[in-house]
Amino acid sequence: MRLPDQGRTPEELFATMRERKRADADWRGGRTFSLVYPASPEIDEVLTEANLLYLFENALNPARFPSLKQMEDEVVSMTASVLRAPDGAGGSMTSGGTESILMAVKTARDEAGVDSPSLVAPISAHPAFAKAAHYLGIELRQARLDADLRCDVEHALSLVDGSTVLMVGSAPGYPHGVIDPIEELAAAAAERGIAFHTDACLGGFLLPFMERLGHEVPAWDLRVPGVTSISADVHKYGYATKGASVIVHRDRHRLEHQGFLYDAWPGGRYGSRALAGARAASPIAAAWAVMTHLGWEGYRAQVSRILDTVARVREAIGSIDGLHLWGDPVASVLAFGSDSHDIFAVGDVMDDLGWHLDRQSGPDALHMMISPAHDAVVSGFTDDLRRAVEAATVSRGREARYS
């Protein structure tokens, strides 16, 4: 497409956008299980208004927009309290989990200051760690998983040496929804004087509320000695619109290593704790609005909806001959496979029935992330899953891909 000579009217261009959008995933109908985290029309209204209110501002220079600085500080401190940060903790907002992870890796690298640094993460860790390692000139060493698909601690420790600046565990990991042995890993890291990052991009706004509901959750947050930083995405189970994540450091002095300061140009002192320069203001506003709207009680209610749906899906998977879960997922993320069927063929039939499940390999699985709004469709889903397993033959060979 070339830039048109004559601009189009808003009516025309919005008609084009609406028409094109019809081919997009129907997340409002609850038929997709990743990328969007639908909760409720009421929450969507809060998000819409917060975004509109800050559509045009720029979060680069907080001195110009003190209301943004205050909201960002409050989002960080509210998140820190949810993650059980001690006094003296500090953090910042970023554009997403990937950027929070990049900042955690940069902080560890610059704090350690060793030549040829390495980081050790389980193979199930999010690709953001590989990306950060690639961007920051760090060697990524991948630890195997144990039989429960959690990080194999012994193997992870065998990869650690004097070059290691960071060890990593997920709470939970994206592929199988299981929590790595954070206590053991973080203790081992602390013993060796190495930073440890808990990736709670997914779990940061789920696990604390599960615990409030009386569920047993393996330790993962800043109450665990040795955990030096945590990433938690407000734009996942915090329900904010995209562009909002938080990194929290146990010790706020580590922010010095996260930041970038520069004054060797004519424009004056330039400081930043993010990858981006100009930053969108609306994600900060959306995160602040949804967090203060929901509070502990609101999040607990959403988590309770999710857990009811998860229980029903797990029961269906357990009762359908030939299907089984991989690992023992702790919250809302499920991966299931089959000993008797081609699980991707099951996925193909589900596609034909209008349900879109992501594929995974090693082990082969269909992947689901349950959101609150899935409670409206769960019985149709489980009926169709039963049907799909009966009808499945040979897979059409759609590859496993995340993006």
Ligand X SMILES: *Cc1c(COP(=O)(O)O)cnc(C)c1O
Chain positions contacting ligand X, by CB under 6 A: 96-98, 101, 126, 128, 170, 173-174, 199, 201-202, 233, 245
Find the shortest distance in angstroms from Cβ 249 to ligand X.
17
Distance CA 63, CA 138 (A): 35
Find the shortest distance in angstroms from Cβ 400 to ligand X.
16
Contact indicator for 203, 82 with CB cutoff of 8 Å:
no
For residues 210 and 388, which CB has a smaller minimum distance to ligand X in the complex? 210
Find the shortest distance in angstroms from Cβ 45 to ligand X.
23
Both structure tokens of 287 = 């995160």
For residues 96 and 337, which CB has a smaller minimum distance to ligand X in the complex? 96
For residues 175 and 226, which CB has a smaller minimum distance to ligand X in the complex? 175
For residues 101 and 195, which CB has a smaller minimum distance to ligand X in the complex? 101
Distance CA 337, CA 59 (A): 44
E strand residue ranges, 244-392: 245-249, 260-262, 270-272, 323-325, 333-338, 358-360, 365-369
Distance CA 289, CA 295 (A): 10
Find the shortest distance in angstroms from Cβ 124 to ligand X.
9
Find the shortest distance in angstroms from Cβ 172 to ligand X.
7
Find the shortest distance in angstroms from Cβ 328 to ligand X.
17
Residue nearest to ligand X (CB): 97
For residues 202 and 287, which CB has a smaller minimum distance to ligand X in the complex? 202
Partners of 215 in the beta sheet?
none
Partners of 246 in the beta sheet?
93, 232
Find the shortest distance in angstroms from Cβ 235 to ligand X.
6
For residues 283 and 323, which CB has a smaller minimum distance to ligand X in the complex? 283
For residues 202 and 388, which CB has a smaller minimum distance to ligand X in the complex? 202
Find the shortest distance in angstroms from Cβ 341 to ligand X.
27
Both structure tokens of 393 = 């033959």
Give the alpha-carbon dihedral of 95, 98, 103, 106, to 10 degrees: -150
Burial, 309: exposed, middle or buried (Cβ in 10 Å; 0-12, 13-18, 19+)? buried
Contact indicator for 148, 178 with CB cutoff of 8 Å:
yes
Q: Does the CA dihedral 188-192-193-196 come out positive or negative?
A: negative
For residues 283 and 372, which CB has a smaller minimum distance to ligand X in the complex? 283
Give the alpha-carbon dihedral of 196, 223, 217, 336, to 10 degrees: -20
Distance CA 164, CA 185 (A): 14
